[in-house]
Every structure is written in C-alpha cells, then in structure tokens.
Amino acid sequence: MSRFEYAPAPESRAIVDIKSSYGLFINGAFTDATDGKPFKTVSPASEEVLAEVSEAGPADVDKAVRAARRAFERVWGPMAGRDRAKYLFRIARLIQERSRELAVLESLDNGKPIRESRDVDIPLVAAHFFYYAGWADKLEYAGAGEHPQPWGVAGQVIPWNFPMLMLAWKIAPALAAGNTVVLKPAETTPLTALAFAEICQQADLPPGVVNIVTGAGRTGQALVEHWGVDKVAFTGSTEVGRSIAKAVAGSDKKVTLELGGKAANIVFEDAPIDQTIEGIVNGIFFNQGHVCCAGSRLLVQESVYDEVLARLKRRMGTLRVGDPLDKNTDIGAINSSAQLAKIRELSQIGEDEGAERWSPDCELPAEGFWFPPTVFTGVSQAHRIAREEIFGPVLSVLTFRTPAEAVEKANNTPFGLSAGIWTEKGSRILWMANQLRAGVVWANTFNRFDPASPFGGYKESGYGREGGRHGLEAYLAH
Amino acid sequence: MRKTYKLYIGGAFPRSESGRSYVVNDAKGKFLANASQASRKDARDAVVAARKAFGGWSGKTAYNRGQVLYRIAEVMEGRHDQFSAEVAASEGLSAAKARAIVDASIDRWVWYAGWADKLAQVVGSSNPVAGPYFDFSLPEATGVIAVLAPQDSSLLGLTSVIAPAIVSGNTVVAVSSFERPLPAVTLGEVMATSDLPGGVVNLLTGSASEIGPWLASHLDVNAIDLCGIEDPDEARDLEAAAAENLKRVRRPAEEDWSASPGLSRLTQYLELKTVWHPIGV
C-alpha cells in the first residue's frame, strides 16, 4: 500500500526547562540525598542524558516519611475537607496551565508520542485532581461509614509507563482523604514527578504533605517497608507486587496493588470491522504496548480470521514509528534498554516456540530504543508469548469458534486486569462481560480511562481499585 | 443414638482420608465425641470441590442465593435444641446463653441472606465518565475462599465468617474451631439439607495451624481469612505464603461476634468489574 509522506511536525522542546540535577523533594524543599549516588535519566528516543537525579537511601526515605507524618498530624489531617479541596483544585489548575510543558517533558523522559501525552496523559492528570478535589469535603458519602478517617502516611511506588498519570492516580485520592504522601517515581521517568513537586510549591501546599523520593527498586523497598508508612500503594509488575505483599505480611499496613495483565481482546464475526481494527491497534500499540491492561492476546473468531488479519496488517503498515515529539508519531520509543531487551527476548522465544512473526517495513531511528509493531500468528495457549506480559508492541493472535471457547481461553491466565469484546450483539456483550474474570471490560472500545471509573484487577493482577468512589475507599479507614 | 462427627466436603460426609480422629471434650474436660482430624489431602479435596462449585453458585441469580441462605436459617431453627446443646457443651455456657447464641446465629444467616440482591446496588455504581460511554461497575465474587474460623465462637463466629463469603457467590473451605468443632459439623448437616449446592461450603474439623499453611499456599485459593489464627507469627507466615498468588488476606483482629457485622466481611471477598460501552446512534 502506498504511504502518505508527512513533513516532520515536531513540538518544540523550548517550553521545558530541565535542570542539570535534581535533589529529593522532602518537607516542601528540594534537598540533597544523604546516602545515595546520583543517577542519570535519559531520553529513550536519543539516549541523550536529560538530567542527574538523586537516589534516595534509607535515611532519606526515613526523613521523607517523618516529614509526611508531621504534616499529617499537624496540618493535613486536622485540616477541614473544604480547605484540602481548595489545594487540590489549585493543583489541578496549575497542571492545566502547565500542560504543554508537562506533555513535552513526559514525552522526552518516557518516549511516548506527544500526541498521547498531550491528549491523554496530562488531561487525565488534571481531571484526576479535579475529581478527587471534589471528594475532599464529602468523605462521609464515600461508603466508608459516617466518620471516615485517613490511614496516615501513604507510601506510593509507581511505574514508568504513565509516569505523571500514575502519580495522579496515587496522590489525588490520598490527599483528598486526608493522608500525606511519600511517592517514589520510576527510576527511568522521574522528571514529571519532580515538576509536580514544583507545582506543589507553587500551590503553597503545606510542607511534608507531598514528598517525592527518586531512586530504583531499593528506594521503593525502603519506602514500603518503613515502619512509619500506614498505607502502601503500588503499580508495577506482579513479581514486585508479590514481594511487597510478602514484605508487609504481619504488619498493620494496608495495601493496594495494581499489577500485570495479559488481556484478551475478543473479536466476534459480527464485529464492526473498521472500529475493531482501530480498537486492536489502540489496544496493543497505544503507548508502545507499555500498558498493564494492553489487549496483548487477540482472540479472533475463525470465520473472520483471514479478513481481520489482512486488515490489521494493512493498518499496521500505516503506523508511524519515530520521534516522540513529532505530532505525526503513532509509536514512540521503548522506555529503556532493559525493557527493549526483554521485548526482544520474548519475541525471539515466540519465534523459537514456532509462532509466526510479522512486522511492517519500518525504518527505525539509529539512536535510542525502538521496536517495530509486531504480530505473532499461529500462537497456542501454551506459548510463552500468550502467557507472559511482554509490555511492548507485540500482539499474539489466537482463534476460537464458540463464545464458550473464547471465554475459556480469555480466562486461562493467572492475570485478570482487563478484556475487550467486539460484537454488534448486545446480549452477547453482556454475557461475555459477565463471564470474563477481569476488572475492566471494554466492549466495542479499548483503553479508555476516566477518573470516575474504577480500575484494577482480579487474581494476580492485584487488589484494590483506583478511580471513582472505590478508589477513594482505599485511602479511608473503615 | 450417638452421632458420628465427620467432615463435609463436596456435599458428602467423608471421614478424614488420613484415618485420623481426635478427642473433643466439653468445656469442663468431659468426653463429648471423636472428631475427624482433617489432613492436607482433605484440604486439597475440599479446594477442588469448592472450585467445581464456584461457577454454578456464582452464576445463580442473587435472588436464588438469598433464598438458599434463608433456607439455611430455617433448617437451623428446626435443629435449635441440638445446636444449643453443642454450643453449651463446647463453650461452657448456660442453656439460656447457648440458646441466645443459636438465635443470634440464625438471625445472622437471615441478615446476610437479605444482602444477596442488595449488595450490587450498594457497592456498585454507574460512572459519569467524560465521554460518550456508558460505564458501570459491579461487584463479583472473588472465587474460592479459605476460612480459618474463630477458635472461641464455635457457631456464631463460624456463621459470621462463612455467610458473608458465600452470599455473594464465593465458595468456601472452612477449618472449624479445633477444640469446639461439633457445631460446625452440625452446620454442615444443615447445609446438606438446605438446597446449598454441594461444594459451596466445605467444613474441615481439625487444626488450623496444621491445615492453614496448605490452604494459604494453594494456588487455586483466591482469598484467606485468618481470624482463627491466634499466634501473630503464624498469621504473618500464612499471609506471606498467601502472597504467592496475591490472595486477598483478612488479618486476624479482635472481633465482637455479637455486634452488628457491617459490610467489611462482605466486601472483603468481592472484585469490582467495570464495563465500558460507547453510546452512539
């Protein structure tokens, strides 16, 4: 198929002002780490070093937790809900005002297309703060009894795939409920969290209410295991989630975990084909497939398999892979060399186990971390690419004949985060939605998110919900 | 005629496959009965039975599940004297106090029975998302729940931990109080004659310390209630074992079984499912 040629349309990065080095944000001020070495954060699209960031050691984490405790006891806990709400509204407004800058910063540090950070991530960040701001003075209606109380200090650890959006999912409900926060952003994507620290300063948020400690796994471990943390919230891999669940065993800490997934995206023969192809593409290639709820297992009814595959491949041929700051880009950079290695390894295993691999012709930039959109056919349920989370732009295709078979295959996984259904038949949608053991079911759509909509998994995809009234409940004692 | 106290697994009353039994005394130390001492194999059989029953039970209408729980209360009422005698002997209570415990237990079944078709309205929601989508959230059962029942409260406590798990569609493997197992066995006999499908509740008599680790580490168990574990170190180890497949864990806590239960045990064993669909012409 012939391709449209597009002139580059890069978003200017002049709008961001990245410092050469950043300290930790503790008790309202940026401070040097006392016991860790600085590390570098790079742009995955160019491998250019963006900034040097401090690694928080146990002593720094301790300082942050103590600051959060003081702020909880003296300021934030006793504050009237309506006043907490005003701070959250102010934060939401500041995010809107700085949205273009934050979008560029996110795309630089994470590698995601600017179209996505500009149109999805950052607007949702602001929306989350608006949504939970409104809850702060209505907690008695949240379903946690007439006198709901915050837990105290929340220790929160977030992933690199939606850095600022995950920050918003964690911080907004925690603060609305009256908790204070120590948050650790992912090692490879700390910059928007540090920009958020600045926003907290601009909002005159009382010192210690939000603390940001940068670092890698050890920093996160020190945080979740700290005795002064009352509530742990983690989004990331099932493996780390498991170790957190073990680490808090026997303590009084409350935990919510949002972990991995291997979602089935199920296409019936009567599905609206154009929307379905767009939905499949959005399901697996959105955010380079770095999405815990990605529709990474495509289940297609046998009777339409040939047509769906042909049209999917044709559509994949039009996807534009490249500069995240180019407004035409559909697929950006893989977030890190480690993640790229993992995607390559699992894809190689897919080939070795006998599945057939296909990618469109696409030229990948010489610098940076890149992986072409990829589809595997001839995949069986026993293949590792059908069972393990690849967390990249790699789709495994399986087939089915009957709805019952689709359900059985879809549920044949230890995960249970999300699922997709494509059919024009209403009763079948509702029947399927009933049968699927997954926390989010998208019917004739995929990868939709909203602050009012609870999100979270069944089984080994974790426990607890984020978003909506249910997301607030996780931060209230009841 | 004296009764043989057996396990209740998959709707049948087997003895322990291990062939073991143990002496159950009353509160004053006088012999009451020999109870089956459930083993690891019995626990695994019970999990298989519970998993097999899950699809059918969780797939019934809420109205139907409520009716079945209500039926359990009715059948218990017919065995009031037997329950009272067992509770009095096991817990060392006066006849009047034991009768009050049985009354409260029956009331608790009725209370939970009524929740079956109200839960989704209270904890579910329709979500006003910023776009042309209908978006709703519904509670669903978590799956197979292991319950290490309270050691002290042999009937009211047991009822208070099983009823909230099954009313929403979960299935249960429960280990009764070790020293006070007789009301649990009789409750199994009530369930067997109350239209409760076999396998929805499986009752094991024996030691929670012995069987607990097998249930906590079992990969086909989705959640565990540790309320019958009194040693904090043991509870910590069970919680750590349960992390292997991310079981939902209810930690042991001070409980007042006579108090109004609230929703926390009901909601503990629920998953929330959110469904999106576009709105358009």
Nearest CA in chain A to B236: A250
**First-residue to last-residue Cα distance in chain A:** 59
pLDDT for A168-206, tens place per residue? 999 999 999 999 999 999 999 999 999 999 999 999 999
What CATH number is given to the structural domain containing A420? 3.40.309.10
The angle subtended at Cα A75 by Cα A473 and Cα A26, nearest 5°, is: 90
Q: What is the mean pLDDT of residues A226-234?
A: 98
Domains of chain B: 21-278 (3.40.605.10)
Q: Are residues A365 and A432 in the same domain?
A: yes
Residues A266-275 as b or e (16 or more Cβ within 10 Å = b): bbbeebeeee
Distance from CA of B201 to the nearest CA of A (A): 21
- Please tell me whether residues A381 and A406 are part of one structural domain: yes
Number of domains observed in the structure of chain A: 2
Q: State the nearest Cα–Cα gap between A69 and chain B, in angstroms.
A: 25
The answer to the question of residue A453 being in a domain is no
Cβ atoms of residues B115 and B68 within 8 Å: no
Q: What whole-number distance in Å separates Cα of residue A84 and Cα of residue A92?
A: 13
- Determine, yes or no, domain membership for A16: no
Is residue A325 within 8 Å of A114, Cβ to Cβ?
yes
Residue A11 lies in a domain: no
What is the value of pTM for the model shown?
A: 0.97
Residues of B in contact with A265 (CB under 8 A): none
Percent of chain A with pLDDT over 90: 96
For residue A6, name the pLDDT band (cuts at 50, 70, 90).
confident
The pLDDT tens digits of the residues spanning A94-128 come to: 999 999 999 999 999 999 999 999 999 999 999 99
Across the range A30-53, mean pLDDT stands at 95
**Quick one: pLDDT at residue A179?**
98
Residue A167, classed as helix, strand or coil, is: helix
Q: Do residue A293 and residue A340 come from a single domain?
A: yes
**Helix, strand, coil percent content, chain A, rounded in steps of 5:** 40, 20, 40
Domain assignment present for A449: no
The predicted pLDDT at position A1 comes to 46
Helix (H) or strand (E) holding B271: strand B270-278
CA dist., res. A104 & res. A192, Å (int): 10
Beta carbons of B243 and A242 less than 8 Å apart: yes
What CATH number does the domain containing A212 carry? 3.40.605.10
Q: pLDDT tier at A382 (50, 70, 90 boundaries)?
A: very high
Which tokens go with B124?
């579910």
Whether residue A317 sits in one domain with residue A193: no
Domain-located, residue A212: yes
Instruction: Tell me the C-alpha distance between A322 and A319, whole Å.
Output: 10
pLDDT at A223 over 60: yes
Task: Measure the CA–CA gap between B196 and A163, rounded to whole angstroms.
Answer: 48
- Alpha carbons A156 and A234: distance in angstroms, whole number: 6
Residue pLDDT, tens place only, A8-40: 999 999 999 999 999 999 999 999 999 778 999
Please indicate, yes or no, if residue A420 is contained in any of the structural domains.
Answer: yes
Per the DSSP assignment, residues forming a β-bridge with A258 are: A235, A462
- For residue A3, pLDDT over 70 is answered with no
By DSSP bridging, strand A21-22 and strand A180-184 are unpaired
Q: Closest-CA residue in chain B for A460?
A: B246
Residues A166 and A291 in one domain: no
Say whether both A429 and A413 belong to one domain: yes
Which amino acid makes up residue B163? A
User: Does the annotation count A239 as an active-site position?
Assistant: no
Q: Report the residue of chain A nearest B244, measured CA to CA.
A: A242
Inter-chain touch A439–B271, beta carbons under 8 Å: yes
Residue A2: band (very low, low, confident or very high) from pLDDT cuts 50, 70, 90 = low
User: What is the rounded CA–CA span in Å between residue A472 and residue A474?
Assistant: 5
Q: What's the whole-number mean pLDDT along residues A75-79?
A: 97
CA–CA separation, A326 and B12 (whole Å): 67
Residue A9 forms part of a structural domain: no
Do A268 and A254 share a structural domain? no
Residue A264's SS3 state is strand
Mean pLDDT of chain A: 97
Report how far apart, in Å, the C-alpha atoms of B122 and of each of A139, A469, B37 are.
16, 12, 40
A-facing residues of B in 137-176 (CB < 8 A) are 137, 142-143
Q: Is B218 helix (H, G, I), strand (E, B) or coil?
A: coil
A325 and A197 both lie in a single domain? no
Q: Are residues A357 and A255 in the same domain?
A: no
**Does A120 share its domain with A250?**
yes
Cβ contact A1:A317 at 8 Å: yes
- For residue A177, which amino acid is it? A
**Is residue A467 included in any domain, yes or no?**
yes
Which range marks the domain in which residue A272 is found? 264-443
Each residue's pLDDT tens digit, A358-378: 999 988 999 999 999 999 999
CA distance A411 to A397: 15
Q: What confidence category does residue A144 fall into, taking pLDDT thresholds of 50, 70 and 90? A: confident
CA-based R_g, chain B, Å = 19
Please tell me whether residues A117 and A169 are part of one structural domain: yes
Q: Which residues contact A188 (CB under 8 A, 6 or more apart)?
A: A41, A42, A44, A109, A110, A160, A335, A336
Rg over alpha carbons for chain A, rounded to the nearest Å, is 22
Those of residues 200-259 in A touching chain B at CB distance below 8 A are 238, 241-243, 245-246, 249-250, 257, 259
Instruction: Check the CA dihedral A419-A425-A430-A434 and report its sign.
Output: negative
Q: What is the pLDDT along chain B (281 residues), one digit of tens a residue?
A: 788 899 999 999 999 999 999 999 999 999 999 999 999 999 999 999 999 999 999 999 999 999 999 999 999 999 999 999 999 999 999 999 999 999 999 999 999 999 999 999 999 999 999 999 999 999 999 999 999 999 999 999 999 999 999 999 999 999 999 999 999 999 999 999 999 999 999 999 999 999 999 999 999 999 999 999 999 999 999 999 999 999 999 999 999 999 999 999 999 999 999 999 999 98
- DSSP reduced 3-state for A216: coil
Residues A171 and A292 in one domain: no
Q: Classify strands A210-212 and A231-235 as parallel, antiparallel or unpaired.
A: unpaired
Query: What own/partner pairs with CB < 8 Å and gap ≥ 24 does B14-17 have?
Result: B14/B42, B16/B42, B16/B206, B17/B41, B17/B42, B17/B45
How far A6 CA sits from the closest chain B CA (Å)?
30
